[in-house]
Copies of this chain bind each other. A is one copy, B any other.
C-alpha cells in the first residue's frame, strides 16, 4: 500500500450515530485544516464502553493508510483528572482519553511515543468541561495533520493506563475464551484468535464448540457451508472465532451476551 499524502483523520465515539456532537468535531477539524480527509470508524460504541471501543480499534487498525490520525472519544471521566493523550505506533497515531481504550492495541505492541496533551495553545480558545473531543482532540488532530510536532503537545508519558482483560486459556484438547462483542448481524465474536486454533482437528466430528448451553460441531470456513438456522463456528473476518446462526442473529436466537464463556473442545 502507498503512503497517504492527503492525511486521514478517523473518529471513533460513543456519541450515537448522527449526533450533532460528531458534526461539531468535524467542523472544528475542517476549520483548522480544510483539506484533511475525515472518516467515521463508528459512533455506536455502547455509551462509555471502553472495552468495546478497545476491540473495535484493534479490529480496524490494520486497514488504514500510514500516518492516519485516529481520534477516540469514549470518555466516562470527561472533565475529571484522567489525561488526554497522544500515542504513536509505527503506522498510526491515536488521540484519546488515557482510560484503557488503547490497551488492546498496546497488548499487540507498546506505543513508540506517548504525550500528555497539556499545551492549551493548540486547543480551542474556550474549553468546555464536558466535550473535550471537540475542544481538545479535534483541533489537536487537525494540527497534527498539518505537521505539528507531537512533542509540542505536552510532556512525554512512560506508559498508558491499562485495564484488565480476561485471558484465553489454552489446554491440551481445550481452549476457553469469552464472547467479547456482538456484531451488527448478531454474530458472537469471541476473544479466541485464529492462531490459537491451529491444533484443532479439521474433522468436524472431532470438535465441539460450546457457548452457554449451546453447542455445535466443527470449525467451518464460511456461513454458507451449513444450512440456514444452524449454529456454526467459524474464523471471522477479524481473525477471531465467531459463533453465528446461518441467515439469522445468534444474539437474538440464543440470548447470548458479551462476557459469556466459550470453549472449543477436541
Contacts and interface: CB of A to CB of B under 8 A. Distances in A.
Contact of A1 (B20, B32, B56, B222): B32
A266 interface: no
A237 interface: yes
A129 B238 CA distance: 11
B2 A130 contact: no
A256 interface: no
A226 to B, nearest CB: 11
B63 A24 contact: yes
Interface string A197-238: 000000000000000000000000111110000000011110
A229 to B, nearest CB: 13
Given A44-B17, A222-B130, A247-B48, A37 B39 contact: no
B60 A184 contact: no
Given A42-B23, A78-B223, A224-B76, A236 B28 contact: no
Contacts of A44: 17-18
Contacts of A222: 78-80, 129-130
Interface stretch (A3-11, A114-122, A164-172, A257-265): A3-11
Contact of A27 (B39, B43, B237): B39
A46 B76 CA distance: 27
A38 to B, nearest CB: 8
A121 to B, nearest CB: 14
Given A76-B224, A79-B221, A222-B79, A20 B237 contact: no
A129 B185 contact: no
Give the number of times this chain occurs in the complex, counting copies.
Answer: 3
Residues of A in contact with B, size category:
35 or more
A129 B4 contact: no
Contacts of A41: 20, 23
Contacts of A32: 1-2
Interface centre among A4, A128, A236, A237 (most CB of B within 10 A): A237
A21 interface: yes
13 contacts: A10-B27, A17-B18, A17-B44, A18-B42, A24-B60, A27-B64, A30-B39, A31-B63, A31-B65, A34-B65, A76-B247, A128-B235, A130-B236
Interface of A: 1-2, 4-6, 8, 10, 15-21, 23-24, 26-28, 30-32, 34-35, 37-44, 47-48, 56, 59-60, 63-65, 68, 76-80, 128-131, 134-135, 183-185, 221-225, 234-237, 239, 247, 249
